[in-house]
Chains A and B, each alone.
Chain A
């Protein structure tokens, strides 16, 4: 496997980056990450599954739109600065154009009662999908007794008290990070004692 890693990445043109990421951007609704994996690893074979996970790790660790970060990383790998720009531009150009068209329709017809009712229904569905996503993410957390209280605290601070998010996040990262640090330290110690 180590031989694989030293192999130079296949040549990918700027146009291929642009169109590849356009495809990724236009293929998903409410998040395109699964499509990015499918396209990059299986369809185009620009990266192995391991390389994908490795790069995604960085993109998910950092704040900001993860898929845009991923486009920048993949674009840079194959085309330097120009590649990064083309990939990110490709990812966003199509969806932005579509959403702007919809925005114009909204400006023109949004005040109609039918449009208002339909959008309220879609917003309700969107709210339900968000609850489902939050629930799935909560279930995926390990050591729930230690970490789920932080979920509750964030909900109280943000949804109920309406505190500013930057302060809440910084305090939350400090506290939850400290708990996680302690748990990891303990785990490593116990691991060593067993060995």
Chain B
């Protein structure tokens, strides 16, 4: 019960700083879940991210998996609700009032200012996922190859996921 409450408060608080969505939150999820609470080890965290990547759905599902790992079904639901509910309520209440502050200088300033921060967070998340997966230099080479391939071509990201699964299974990565 205590764990569920902790899970709920931690994730609900994080939802208020989730600029850039759940993906930008990855490094902080790692810090809270692996480093602070020691609810799981780094490898498991990387695995859960991998599973979320390979499944259809919004990015927020990695939070569902973390909740599952921490406290089973109740944990999964608690974590998901904690991440989604607070901002859902805010957005529900703001509906119809957006016009009033949209385009105001302070609103545009925040939007412009948040973007480079979110980019920094996603770079951090990318680094942490690679690190916690325990990659060797071939693994990091594959990370680089995927990054370049995905930037230069328009292939569906699932191809990269499939390639990763195959190379991993073959023991290459």
Chain A residues packing against B (C-beta within 8 Å): 25-32, 54-55, 57-59, 61-69, 72-73, 76-77, 81, 84, 88, 91-92, 94-96, 98-100, 102-103, 106, 110, 114, 116-138, 140-141, 147-148, 150-155, 158-159, 162, 164-166, 169-170, 172-173, 175-181, 183-185, 188
Residue among B84, B98, B110, B121 making CB contact with A92, cutoff 8 Å: B84
The 5 listed contacts between A and B (C-beta, < 8 Å) are A95-B58, A99-B51, A119-B50, A123-B132, A176-B113
Specify which chain A residues have a CB less than 8 angstroms from the CB of B124 in the assembled complex.
154-155, 158-159
Q: Are B65 and A95 in contact (CB under 8 A)?
A: no
Specify which chain B residues have a CB less than 8 angstroms from the CB of A110 in the assembled complex.
47
Q: Are A127 and B122 in contact (CB under 8 A)?
A: no
Residue among B73, B92, B126, B146 making CB contact with A72, cutoff 8 Å: B92
Residue among B73, B120, B133, B164 making CB contact with A154, cutoff 8 Å: B120
Taking the complex as formed, is B107 at the interface, i.e. its CB lies under 8 A from any CB of chain A?
yes
Q: How far, in angstroms, from A62 to B101 measured CA to CA in the complex?
A: 13
Residue-wise interface mask of B (104-123) relative to A, using a CB-CB cutoff of 8 A (1 in contact, 0 not): 01111111111111111111
A105 to chain B, nearest CB (A): 9
Q: Are A121 and B173 in contact (CB under 8 A)?
A: yes
- Residues facing A in B13-61 (CB within 8 A) are 13-19, 21-23, 25-28, 31, 35, 43, 46-61
Q: Are B47 and A106 in contact (CB under 8 A)?
A: yes
Specify which chain B residues have a CB less than 8 angstroms from the CB of A122 in the assembled complex.
50-51, 53-54, 161, 164-165, 168
Q: Are A63 and B109 in contact (CB under 8 A)?
A: no
A101, closest chain B residue (CB): B55
Q: Are B18 and A26 in contact (CB under 8 A)?
A: no
Q: How far, in angstroms, from A110 to B68 measured CA to CA in the complex?
A: 14
Q: How far, in angstroms, from A138 to B151 measured CA to CA in the complex?
A: 12
Q: Which of A66, A122, A141, A175: most chain B CB closer than 10 A?
A: A122
Specify which chain A residues have a CB less than 8 angstroms from the CB of B58 in the assembled complex.
25, 28, 31-32, 65, 67-68, 91-92, 95
Specify which chain A residues have a CB less than 8 angstroms from the CB of B94 in the assembled complex.
58, 62
Q: How far, in angstroms, from A158 to B19 measured CA to CA in the complex?
A: 15
